[in-house]
Every structure is written in C-alpha cells, then in structure tokens.
Structure 1
C-alpha cells in the first residue's frame, strides 16, 4: 500500500485551473482499483492519496501521469507501507509481513 503526498508548488489559482483534469485522472485510477481514498490537506497546500499496488515502480509511473505532475504544479512524496491491519471494507488489501 502507498501514501501519495502531493505538495503544491504554484499558487492555488493555477491548481484550480488544472483541477478538472486532475479529478479525471483520480477517477480513472479509482475505476481501475489503484486509488482507495484521496483529498485535500488542511491547510490546502496539497493532497493525500491512498493507493494499492504491489509494485512501487508502477505507482511512481502512475504519479508521473497526474496532470499536476505533468504541468509541474505539484511534487509527490511516495511512502510505501505494509497494511497488516485494515478496516473490514479494506480486507482485500490486507498485507502480510515478509517471512
């Protein structure tokens, strides 16, 4: 599992202008099962995405396709973690510790 932390690098008016494209990108990755939750940080200086995936390289490739990344509007910090304890709704995403 991955926590994707976006940090805006431009004023919010530029973020807002690109927001429809970013939301479309989010929706595509919700539809394909990669994204589980997302939203704005408070204060609004970026966002957080919870993503599922076994391969860090694949998640990083997805991040590079975000219109915010493509347009140079935000940077990403990708943190991988093992989701060994999950809510019932996320049971299919439970991970095991390596042997």
Structure 2
C-alpha cells in the first residue's frame, strides 16, 4: 500500500485552475481500483491519496500524469508500507509481511 502525499508548489489559484482535471484523473484511478481514499490536507497546502494493489513503478507512472504534476503545481512524496492491520471494511487490502 502507498501513501501519496501531494505538496503544492504554486499558489492555490494555480492549483484551482487545474483542479477539475485533477478530479477527473482521480476518478479514473478510483475506477481502475488503484486508489482507496483521498482528500485535501488541512491547512490546504496539498493532499493525500491512499493507493493499493499496485507496485511502486506503477504508482510512479500514475503520479507522473496527474494534471497537478503536468501543470507544475505539486510534488509527490511516495511512502510504501505493508498494511498488516486494517479496519474490517478494508480487510481486502490487508497484506502479509515478507518471509
């Protein structure tokens, strides 16, 4: 599983100019089954996405085409972790530690 942390690198007005394209990109990744949660940080200086069921190379390819990245208004910090414990509703995303 991955935590994708977005940090805005441009004024929020520039972010808002591509927000609709970013939301459409999010919708596409949700439909593909790659994303399981997302939202703005508070204060609004970026966002967070939880991604699952894909490898790091795929995550890097996906984030590279985020309209926010293409427009140069955010940077990503990608953190991979092994979700060995989850809420019951997320049981399908539970992972095993490597042997």
After TM superposition, the structure 1 = structure 2 runs for residues 2-81 of structure 1, keeping only pairs within 5 Å, are 2-81=2-81
Cα-Cα RMSD: 0.7
CA shift for structure 1 position 74: 0.2
* Residues 3-30 of structure 1: per-residue CA shift (max 9 Å, x gap): 0000000000011110000000000011
Give the 3-state SS of the residue equivalent to 1:37 in structure 2.
strand
Count of aligned positions: 99
Structure 1 gaps of 5+ residues are: none
TM-score by length of 2: 0.97
TM-score by length of 1: 0.97
Runs ≥4 residues deviating over 4 A: none
CA shift for structure 1 position 54: 3.7
Distance between the aligned counterparts of 1:64 and 1:5, measured in 2? 13
